[in-house]
Amino acid sequence: MMLPTEWIHNFLYASMPEGLAHAVELVLIAVGFLMFFAAAGLYLVLLERWIAAWIQLRRGPNRVGPWGIFQTIADALKLVTKELTGTDKADKFLYNLAPYFPIVAALITISVFAYSQSLHAFDINIGIFFITAVSSIGVIGILLAGWSSNNKYALIGAMRSGVMVVSYELSVGLSLLTMVLMTGSLQLSEIIEVQRTGGWLIVQGHIPAIIAFMIYMIAGTAETNRTPFDLVEAESELGAGYHTEYSGMKFAYFFLAEFINMFIIASIAVTVFFGGWLSPFGITDEIFWLQPVWFLAKVLVIIVLMMLFRWTFPRLRIDQILTLEWKYLLPLNLINLVLMAIIVLLGWTINF
C-alpha cells in the first residue's frame, strides 16, 4: 500500500515541473513542522497545568472549552495582542533578535527526528551530533536577552544559563556517546534499525545503559532550565530571569521554546534508549500510521516524568548544581563510557 508521503510526492512531481514540485514539497514540510511546533508547545503547557493541578489536589484549567482544552489557545491569543514593552536603555537590535535563537534552534532540531519509517524529513549520518550542536545554539538567545535588556536580574539569569549549559552539555553528550558505542552510528534511522533486531538499547546495554539514561535525564532536565535546575528563572530571586523585560510574543517565544526543548530531550531519549517509533516486542512495526503514535506515546511518558520532577524536588543552589555535575555526574559518565566500551568489545550485549 502506498504511504501518504509517497502519494503526495508522486502527485506533486506528476502535476508540475520538477523544480517547482521540489520547492512546494519543502514548503509543505516546513508548514507541517510549524503547525506541529505550535500545537505541541500549546498542549504541553496545558499538560503541565493538568499535572500540577492533579498533584496539588485542585481542578486546574476548566473554563475555556471542555475540560479547559482551549485555555492555552486563549493564552496565546492574549500574548499575540499584548503590547510589546521594553526598556529605553536596552540594546534594541540584540534585544529584538534574542527571542528568535531559542525558537529557531528548537524548530530545526525537531526536523531531524524519525517519527516513523516514512516521516523523517532530514536523515543525516551525523544525526546525534547535529541535534546536540543545533540545540545548543538556543543558549545564545538567552545570553543576548540577559545582556541586551540592561537589567541586572536578567543578566544574572543569563549568566547562570551559560554556566549550566557549559556544564551539563558534557553529561548529555557523554551519555549519548555511551549508547552510540553500541550502535556504531550517529544516524538516527540506523540507531532505530539496530533496536529493531536486538531490542531497545536500554535493555541491550545492561546496567551501563540504565546509568546512561539516568544521567541523561538529569542533565537533560538541567539543559531545559526546568525545576530543580530553574535558577535561570528563579522567581523568588530574579523575577523572571533572562526574560524579565520581555512581554507579548517575544516572551511567548522563550516560553514556547522551553516546552519544545522538553519535547526534544524526550525525543532523543526515546530514539536512543527506547526504540524510537518501534512498538514493544515488534507487535505493530509494519503498520505505518501506528509508528508515529508509538513514538509520541513514549515521548509523552518521558515528558510527564520531567514534569513530575518540578513538583517533587526543591530548587537547588547554583553551587549544588555545579557540584552535582563536575564532582558526580561527569566522573560517573566517564567510568560508564569505559564500561560500555568493554561490554561492546567483549560482545556481552543482550539481543532479543
The structural domains of the chain, with segments of one domain joined by +, span 19-81, 87-346
Q: 1-46 pLDDT, tens per residue?
A: 556 777 787 888 888 888 888 888 888 888 888 898 888 988 899 9
Q: 240 pLDDT exceeds 70?
A: yes
For 347, half-sphere exposure in the C-beta direction (CA atoms, 13 angstrom radius) is 0
**Secondary structure percentages of the chain, helix, strand, coil, to 5:** 75, 0, 25
Picking from 100, 120, 104, the residue whose alpha carbon sits closest to that of residue 112 is 120
Q: 285-294 pLDDT, tens per residue?
A: 677 788 899 9
Chain-wide mean pLDDT for the chain? 88
Query: What pLDDT does residue 83 have?
Result: 81
Query: What pLDDT does residue 1 have?
Result: 53
Q: 184 pLDDT exceeds 90?
A: no
Q: 283 pLDDT exceeds 80?
A: no
CB 181 within 8 A of CB 341: yes
Query: What pLDDT does residue 304 have?
Result: 94
Query: What pLDDT does residue 30 have?
Result: 86
Lowest mean pLDDT segment, chosen from 281-285, 300-304, 328-332: 281-285
Average pLDDT over residues 224-241: 80
Query: What pLDDT does residue 339 have?
Result: 94
| Share of residues in the chain with pLDDT > 70 (%) | 97
Query: What pLDDT does residue 352 have?
Result: 57
Q: 78 pLDDT exceeds 80?
A: yes
Query: What pLDDT does residue 334 have?
Result: 95
Q: 206-223 vs 290-310: helix axis angle to the nearest 10?
A: 70
Query: What pLDDT does residue 333 have?
Result: 95
Listed ranges 151-160, 260-269, 308-317; the one with the highest mean pLDDT: 260-269
Query: What pLDDT does residue 342 have?
Result: 92
Listed ranges 20-29, 196-205, 263-272; the one with the highest mean pLDDT: 263-272
pTM given for the model: 0.92
Q: 284 pLDDT exceeds 70?
A: no
Q: 351 pLDDT exceeds 80?
A: no
> DSSP letters along 300-311, please?
HHHHHHHHHHHT
CB 116 within 8 A of CB 291: yes
Query: What pLDDT does residue 307 have?
Result: 92
Query: What pLDDT does residue 245 have?
Result: 87
The C-alpha angle with vertex 225 and arms to 203 and 168, in degrees rounded to 5, equals 55
Query: What pLDDT does residue 273 have?
Result: 94
Cell of 26: 519543502
